[in-house]
Amino acid sequence: MPHSPEEKKRVLARVRRIRGQAEALERALEAGADCAPVLQQIAAIRGAVNGLMSEVMEAHIRETFGQAAGSADQRQARVAEVTALVRSYLK
């Protein structure tokens, strides 16, 4: 999770934009909009969520690997954690 005030502000702004996009999609669906604009809105939301995921993941990686080295087991556990995170993101 982003911890600096700047990072937190940026992430919250992204979440608010995503919420706005989702609300616009809901209104379009309720209004019976054509498929093409609905699909375009869904793609835009997916892109926004991917951008949010990327930003939070980057902050997590910086936090995880920016810490003091620690034992070999601790380093290996951190690498395994980040690897699992990246794998789940790429699914």
CATH number for position 27: 1.20.58.1000
Contacts of 77 (CB under 8 A, 6+ apart): none
- Predicted TM-score (pTM) of the model is 0.73
pLDDT at 84 over 90: no
Q: Residue 42 is encoded by which pair of tokens? A: 């869904």
Q: Which domain holds residue 11?
A: 5-90
For 89, which DSSP code? H
pLDDT at 77 over 90: no
Contacts of 1 (CB under 8 A, 6+ apart): 56, 59, 60
What total number of domains does the chain contain? 1
R_g (Cα) of the chain, nearest Å: 18
Average per-residue pLDDT in the chain? Answer: 85
The number of beta carbons lying within 10 Å of the beta carbon of residue 34 is 8
**Which of 18-22, 39-43, 66-70 has the lowest average pLDDT?**
66-70
Q: What is the pLDDT of residues 6-29, one digit of tens each?
A: 888 999 999 999 999 999 999 999
